[in-house]
Structure 1
Amino acid sequence: MQPTEPASDRFDVVAVASSAGGIHGLATVLGALDAELPVPVLVVQHLDPRHRTVIADVLRRRTKMGVKLAEDHERTSPGTVYIAPPDRHLLVRPGGLLTLTDSELVHFVRPSADLLFESVAGAYGPQAIACVLTGTGRDGAMGVSAVKSRGGTVIVQDPQSAEFSGMPDAAVGTGMVDFVLPLEEIAAVIRGLVEAKRQ
């Protein structure tokens, strides 16, 4: 960032959360983004920890972005998707340093969207975008409130278009949402937001 720019003038990270139905949702959003995206994308998708996950392989075939399971103490790069491994919380620190933890479940899940979003809010403040896609339960609702309270931007999949509406409904119910969009329109809004201040 140039020192003459106000901190809120650009976005530096996108965090996405999904659960049931989320592979299709993630493939749709990430498939419409490309490796030129000037920010990293951090993803929490609720996965069964009893099985080896192939989510990175599946999504890699759907997007031009780099896709990988996040690693502890890894630093993020633009145009790359970092997915929380099964049964590990994914957090980010200032400067894009990732941390994985196996601390207790949050709302019965690990990884937790709430923890990711809260860490994004703390590390990036108004430079963060949080996005909630299809899923059951309430994970992500507390986190979007944290992102919004720090000046970030919140996008939620329209619950009526979501395969499972629990997570989007809970997020919308916070009253802290900037955009409620059909799944197919989310990527264009993300691109517009992150590229607008870089012209």
Structure 2
Amino acid sequence: MRTLVEFARRPRIPGRRPTRIGLVPALTVAIVLAVAVAGLAGWGDHRAAQRDAAVRQALATAPAAAKAIFSYDYRTFDHSIANGRTFATGAFEKEYAHTTAALRQTATKQQAVVAAEVSSTGVVSATTERVELLVYLNQYRRNVNTAGEKVDQNRVVLTLVPVDGQWRVAEATAI
């Protein structure tokens, strides 16, 4: 068995240099890799902060939007619907206008008043450009056909998107 000293004294092959990685290139590679990993982590944190800001803004908008979209009063129907439309965008805005136009005659005939209140919200999914929220919504309704006030408990997924710096409802799906 050879000792460490004997191993260190082994003869060199003439014309051949010992192979070893230079310290400077190895450190350079390590530093470049560390900077790249730190940069990626920083970018990930930045995107997460942007997503969190989008969620906060959408959550702040959702109660007022849901209340406006899902409430109406036959006495001020046009005003109620105009208020709801301020929170809608895109295809949903057109769908909302169509649905409420069909509802107008029935609401007036039945003297319907529907007041929506959000009891809770939760995030379904979120990016910086689209936030889906689960909204627990109570609709308090009364009309000439009902005695007193009735409460409908609903769950709705609202999809909000930023439009000109404001979050608007791009889709509403009852579940």
> Which TM-score tier does this pair reach, normalised by the shorter chain?
under 0.3
TM-score, structure 2 normalization: 0.24
Structure with more of its chain in helix, by fraction: 2
> Could you say which structure has the larger radius of gyration?
2
Structure with more of its chain in strand, by fraction: 2
Higher RCO (C-alpha under 8 Å, 6+ residues apart) = 1
TM-score, structure 1 normalization: 0.22
